[in-house]
């Protein structure tokens, strides 16, 4: 059917779908490069250990 | 620097111990010029006569301490001396054993004092004695004296300062990282929510568009007075039954050739069929029924148009169920279905 409203809406929908899929791909690839939060607990653990050593060797 | 915490802890503890030694050595080095260079050689013989031993917990040492104490030495010496001049000589036998014991105890005491002169922790410690007996160690400790004397304590403090700074930097970095991760988590959650919203809106819009498109076709068919069974086609193959007494009579269908033209509502064998279950429905919630058989899905909807009861069934493969159920179970589609059947019904009624 050549109804202009339908064509316009279909084009709009295709655009949304394409952008959503592109964004999902981008998110998946960015998740791989973001530093994992595991480094933070390691830092805390080491700092706590240092504090304990400092307290014990005053 | 070795990062092992056990190593760091051990190092700090030993540095504290070592500093006691260096401090003593520094004090002794400072007073080096005012002391007699050879006093350590003869002073033990003099000190043996008046210096008491240090107390210890060892029993044997206590006995020796007592035996070599100045009063005891003096007593034995006196006994030896007295034995020369008194009349009790015969009673006390000869004086020599006493003199020998007294001399032995005296020598033991002098030797003990001599070795105490080499013990840096002892108050009798003598630098010249240490220098003569341990020349290489003396040379090594000389570096601790001078205008800017080295101190293990200052090294201990320096390392502690470095570690404290590392500790504070670590905590600071941890707090900053934690804040960043918390923010990141919040943003990620927000992003996921938005993605869900977009997907939901997209799906809704796609369905509304399909409904709109089909509704337009209905209007065009009505306007052109060319209403046919085509208006009944929505997404999938279908069948349309009309209820007549205890029978369901097939009116129209699309690629559903194995479906009987008539179904008896009282037939026990067909009671599990979606179309029959929907027909028996009394409540609104039961108007839509599902039946899966041989990997084929039948989803039947009971619709009353004027006084006629119709049963419309969607037929599709089981693998498509997730996708199609989402599209079919929508209010706007049911409304459209009603109007499609209404148009078909009007056309049939003439």
Q: Is the Cβ pair B202, A20 closer than 8 Å?
A: yes
Query: Would you say residue B88 has pLDDT above 70?
Result: no
Residue B102 burial class via C-beta count within 10 angstroms: exposed 0-12, middle 13-18, buried 19 and up? buried
B8 CB within 8 Å of a chain A CB: yes
Of B101 and A14, which is predicted with more confidence?
Answer: A14
Q: Is B265 exposed, middle or buried (0-12, 13-18, 19+ CB in 10 A)?
A: middle
Indicate the pLDDT class of residue B219, thresholds 50, 70 and 90: very high
More confident residue, A7 or B17: A7
Query: Which residue, chain included where needed, has tokens 């568009």?
Result: B209
Q: What is the mean pLDDT of residues B70-81?
A: 74
Count the Cβ atoms, other than its own, within 10 Å of residue B278.
25
What is the Cα Rg of chain B in Å? Answer: 56
In chain A, which residues have their Cβ closer than 8 Å to the Cβ of B198?
A: 16, 20
Distance CA B230, CA B324 (A): 20
CA-based nearest residue to B253, from B320, B297, B343, B313:
B313
Q: B264-307, pLDDT tens digit by residue?
A: 999 999 999 999 999 999 888 889 999 999 899 999 999 999 99
- What confidence score (pLDDT) does residue B98 get? 73
pLDDT, position B56: 47
Cα–Cα distance between B173 and B166 in angstroms, integer? 10
Check pLDDT > 70 for residue B214. Answer: yes
Nearest alpha-carbon partner for B54 in B125, B114, B113, B128: B113
Are A54 and B163 within 8 A, CB to CB?
yes
Residues of B whose CB is below 8 A from A50 = 5, 8, 163-164, 166-167, 170
Q: Which residue has the tokens 């240490």?
A: B130
Least CB-CB distance to B166: which of A16, A34, A50? A50
Q: What is the mean pLDDT of residues B188-196?
A: 88
Kindly state whether B1 is in contact with chain A, defined as any CB-CB distance less than 8 angstroms.
no
Chain A: nearest CA to B177, how far in angstroms? 6
Q: Taking 60 as the threshold, does the pLDDT of residue A1 lie above it? A: no
Q: Helix, strand, coil proportions of chain B in percent (round to 5)?
A: 65, 15, 25
For residue B17, which residues of chain A lie inside 8 Å, CB to CB? none
State the pTM of this model.
0.54
* β-bridge partners, B4: none
CB B44 within 8 A of CB B173: no
Give the side-chain half-sphere CA count within 13 A for B337.
25
What are the structural domain ranges in chain B? 5-147, 149-226, 229-349
> Which chain A residues contact residue B19 at CB under 8 A?
none
Lowest mean pLDDT among B12-16, B54-58, B66-70, B189-193: B54-58
User: Is the pLDDT at B59 greater than 70, yes or no?
Assistant: no
Confidence class of residue A37 from pLDDT cuts 50, 70 and 90?
low
pLDDT at residue B2 tops 80? no
Dist. CA A15–CA A9, nearest whole Å: 10
CA–CA dist B75, B304 (Å, integer)? 134
User: Is the pLDDT confidence value at A30 over 50?
Assistant: yes
For B17-27, how does the pLDDT look when each residue is reduced to its tens digit (9 = 90+)? 777 777 777 77
For residues B39-67, average pLDDT: 68
CB-based contact B336:B234 (threshold 8 Å): yes
Percent pLDDT > 70 in chain B is 85
Q: Which of B64-73, B130-139, B290-299, B323-332 bottoms out in mean pLDDT, i.e. has the lowest?
A: B64-73
Whether B322 has a pLDDT exceeding 80, the answer reads yes
A9/B205 touch (CB, cutoff 8 Å), yes or no: yes
Q: Of the candidates B12, B171, B195, which has its C-beta nearest A57's C-beta?
A: B12
Highest mean pLDDT among B42-46, B141-145, B316-320: B316-320
Query: If phi over 0 gives left and psi between -120 and 50 gives alpha, with beta otherwise, what is residue B245?
Result: left
Given an 8 Å threshold on Cβ–Cβ distance, is B171 in contact with A44?
Answer: yes
Model confidence band, residue B244 (pLDDT cutoffs 50, 70, 90) = very high
Query: Rounded to whole angstroms, how far apart are CA atoms B117 and B110?
Result: 11
Mean pLDDT confidence for B69-95: 68
DSSP state of B37: S
Count Cβ–Cβ pairs < 8 Å, chain A vs chain B.
78
Residue of chain A minimizing CA distance to B211: A6
- Contact criterion met (CB below 8 Å) for B150 and B143: yes
Chain B residues with beta carbon closer than 8 angstroms to that of A24: 195
Which residues of chain A are within 8 Å of residue B209 when distances are taken between CB atoms?
6, 9-10, 13
DSSP classification of residue B31: T
pLDDT value of residue B74? 77
CB B315 within 8 A of CB B237: yes
Task: Compute the mean pLDDT over every residue in chain B, rounded to the nearest whole number.
Answer: 83
- Per-residue exposure over B194-211, b if at least 16 CB sit within 10 Å of its own CB, e if not: eeeebeeeeeeebbebbb
Closest CA to B81 of B99, B54, B63: B99
Please tell me the distance from the alpha carbon of residue B132 to that of residue B127, in angstroms, as a whole number: 9
User: Using CA atoms, how far apart are residues B222 and B212, in angstroms rounded to an integer?
Assistant: 15
Kindly list the residues from chain B whose CB atom is less than 8 angstroms away from the CB atom of residue A27. 191, 195
Is A20 close to B195, i.e. CB distance below 8 A?
A: yes
pLDDT greater at residue B163 or residue B318: B318
Q: Do A40 and B177 touch (CB under 8 A)?
A: yes
The SS3 assignment for B338 reads helix
The pLDDT value recorded for residue A23 is: 87
Q: What is the pLDDT of residue B148?
A: 58
Give pLDDT, residue B238: 96
Residues in a beta bridge with B254 = B238
ipTM above 0.90, yes or no: no
Give the CATH number of domain B229-349: 3.30.450.40
What pLDDT was estimated at residue B85?
61
B45: left (phi over 0), alpha (psi -120 to 50) or beta: alpha
Check CB contact under 8 Å for B170 and A47: yes
Could you tell me the CA-to-CA distances from B192 to A5, A27, B201, B203, B251 in Å, in that order?
31, 10, 14, 16, 47
Q: What is the pLDDT of residues B132-164, one digit of tens each?
A: 888 888 887 776 666 556 667 777 788 888 888
């Amino acid at each position: 059917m050549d109804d202009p409203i339908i064509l316009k809406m279909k084009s709009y929908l295709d655009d949304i779908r394409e952008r959503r899929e592109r964004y999902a791909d981008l998110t998946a690839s960015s998740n791989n490069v973001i530093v994992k939060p595991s480094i933070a607990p390691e830092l805390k653990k080491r700092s706590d250990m240092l504090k304990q050593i400092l307290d014990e060797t005053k | 620097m070795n990062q092992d915490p056990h190593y760091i802890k051990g190092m700090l503890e030993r540095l504290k111990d070592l500093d006691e030694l260096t401090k003593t050595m520094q004090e002794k080095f400072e007073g080096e010029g005012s002391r007699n260079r050879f006093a350590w050689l003869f002073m033990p013989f003099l000190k043996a006569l008046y210096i008491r031993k240090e107390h210890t917990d060892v029993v044997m040492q206590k006995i020796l301490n007592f035996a070599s104490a100045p009063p005891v030495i003096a007593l034995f010496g006196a006994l030896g001396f007295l034995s020369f001049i008194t009349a009790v000589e015969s009673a006390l036998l000869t004086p020599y054993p006493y003199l020998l014991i007294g001399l032995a105890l005296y020598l033991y005491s002098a030797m003990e004092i001599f070795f105490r002169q080499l013990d840096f922790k002892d108050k009798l410690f003598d630098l010249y004695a240490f220098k003569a007996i341990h020349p290489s160690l003396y040379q090594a400790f000389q570096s601790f004296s001078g205008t800017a004397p080295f101190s293990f304590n200052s090294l201990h403090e320096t390392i502690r300062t470095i570690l404290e700074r590392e500790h504070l930097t670590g905590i600071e970095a941890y707090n900053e990282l934690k804040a960043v991760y918390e923010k990141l988590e919040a943003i990620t959650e927000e992003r996921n929510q938005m993605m869900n919203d977009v997907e939901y809106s997209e799906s809704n819009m796609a369905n509304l568009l399909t409904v709109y498109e089909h509704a337009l076709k209905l209007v065009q068919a009505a306007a052109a007075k060319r209403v046919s069974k085509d208006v009944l086609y929505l997404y999938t193959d279908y069948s349309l039954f009309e209820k007549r007494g205890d029978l369901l009579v097939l009116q129209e269908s699309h690629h559903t050739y194995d479906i009987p033209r008539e179904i008896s509502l009282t037939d026990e064998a067909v009671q599990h069929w979606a179309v029959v279950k929907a027909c028996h429905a009394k409540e609104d919630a039961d108007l839509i029924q599902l039946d899966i058989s041989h990997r084929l899905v039948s989803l039947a909807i009971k619709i009353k148009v004027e006084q006629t009861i119709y049963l419309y069934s969607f037929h599709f493969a089981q693998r498509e169920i997730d996708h199609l159920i989402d599209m079919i179970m929508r209010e706007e589609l049911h409304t459209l279905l009603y109007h499609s059947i209404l148009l078909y019904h009007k056309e049939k009624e003439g």
